[in-house]
Amino acid sequence: MTAELALSLAQAAVAVIGGGSAGGNRGDAITPVVNRQGIDERRLRVLIVRDTRESGQMLEAAMAAGITAAGGDALLAGVLPTPAAPLLVRQHRFALAVVISASHNPYADNGIKLFASSGFKLDDETESQIEDRMREPFGAAIRIGRVQRFADAPEDYLSQLLRRFADLDLHGRRILLDCANGATYRVAPELFRRLGAHVRVLADEPSGRNINDGCGSTHIDFLAEAMKPSRYDIGFAFDGDGDRVLAVDRNGSVADGDELIALIAGHQQRAGLLDDKGVAVTVMTNFGFHSAMASAAIKVATTAVGDRYVLEELLRRGWNLGGEQSGHIIDLGFGLTGDGMASALLTLEALGGRDLSERDAMRKLPQQLVNVPASDREHVRRALASELAQAAITAGSERLDGRGRVLVRPSGTEPLIRVMVEAPTQSETDEVCKSVVVAITVALEQQAASQAST
C-alpha cells in the first residue's frame, strides 16, 4: 500500500463517482462554490477517516491530494472507528467516504475501504470502473478541490450513538475497555462515560506501531486477565478499527460474537425489534447457537465467512441482525456495518442490568479448529475431492448428526484446508477432528507423491 497507489485510487474514485456511478452524482453531495470570477463551481465532498497506524497520515495525505487533484473536496475526520464513516456520509450527504485501516491486522499492514453516499460499500461494478480508470492517465484538473478539517466528526458520530441508546442508563456500572491502541481510543471511553458508567481504559496510548499488538479483540486474553480481580462488572475489547467487539465477564470468561448475537437476538425478539424473527450468521457460528435459536423460535440464515455476505443476506431477507463469531455484529436498526461500540451497548441493553456471568442465551459446544497446510491450491482441491477425505468427513458428520457438526473448507487466501469440528464433549470433538485431519493429511501426501512420480 503506497502513497502513489492511494493518490491514483482517490483520483479515479472521484472521476467515477463524479461521473454518476453508485449514485454519487447527487446535488446534495456536491459543494457549490462561487469563485472570484462569479463562476459557480461544484465539487464532490469526500470524507476521510483513518485508524492509528503510522502509515495512516501518509495515506490520508495522498488520498486528499488525489481527491483535490480530481476536483473534489477532502474532509479530514482524523482517527475514528470505521463504522463512523457510513453514518457520517449519510448524515452530511457526502458523495463518498474513505476509510484508511487494516482493521485487526498488525500495524505494518494498511488498506482502503470506500463507502458510497448511501452508506453501503461500493458495489463490484463501481469498484471495477474505478480500477479501470486507475489504468488511464490523468491530466490536469479544470478545478482543484480543497482540503478541510472536519472537526465535528467525532461529536457527530457520538451523537448518533447517544440518540440510539438514550434509554440506556449505565450509572453504577464499572466497565473496563480495551481499545487495541486503535480507532476507538478516544470515542469509546467518552461514549460510556456520557452514559454514566465508571470507565477504566486499557490500550489507549497509540504509538502508530502498537495497534492490535497483544491487545484488542484479537488478543482477548489481555482483557480477560485484567478482569480477573473482579473490580469491574464487564469488559469490552475492540479491534483496531472498531468494527468488532468481544466481551469478558467479571470472572474473566470470554463471550464471543456468537454468544453476544444470541443474547441480543433473544432480547430483540422479546421486545418485538427482531425483524421477521431471524438472524444471519456464517458457517463458523457455533452449533450451540443454532440449537438455542431453534429453541427460541428464531430463524437462522447461514452465509459464507465475511461480513459482506452477512449484510447481503440481511438485506435480501429484510432482517436487521446478524454477524460473526469474531465479534463483527451488524444491527441495521442503527448502522450499515459492524460497529463495536454499538454492539457493546446492544449487549448491555440486552442484559438489562443483569450480570454477563449469568448469561444463558446459548450453550457453546466444544470446538476444535485445525489448519492443514498444502503445497498449492490444486492439491487442496484434489485432496478435498478424494474418496479418503470425503469418507472421513461423511463418517464424522454422520456420527455427530443432530449433536454437532464437521465443517471442512479451503482457505480463501492461503493453500490451507480448514477443519472445524463441534461436538457435545471436548474428547469427542478432538477424536472426530483428528480422524478428519489424518485423512486429509494422507490425501495431501498422496497428491504430492503422485505429482512427484509424474
Q: What's the DSSP call for residue 385?
A: H
Contact 177, 242 (CB under 8 A): no
Return the number of other C-beta atoms located less than 10 Å from residue 385's C-beta: 10
CA-to-CA dists, residue 146 to 42, 46, 149, 258, 316, angstroms: 12, 10, 10, 45, 39
In the chain, what is the straight-line distance between the N-terminal and C-terminal CA atoms, in Å?
Answer: 40
Contact 293, 335 (CB under 8 A): no
Count of helix runs (H) and strand runs (E) in the chain: 14, 18
Contact 1, 55 (CB under 8 A): yes
Return the number of other C-beta atoms located less than 10 Å from residue 384's C-beta: 18
Count of residues making up the chain: 454
Identify the sign of the CA torsion 301, 346, 221, 306.
positive
Kindly list the catalytic residues.
103
Contact 224, 241 (CB under 8 A): no
Cα Rg of the chain, angstroms: 24
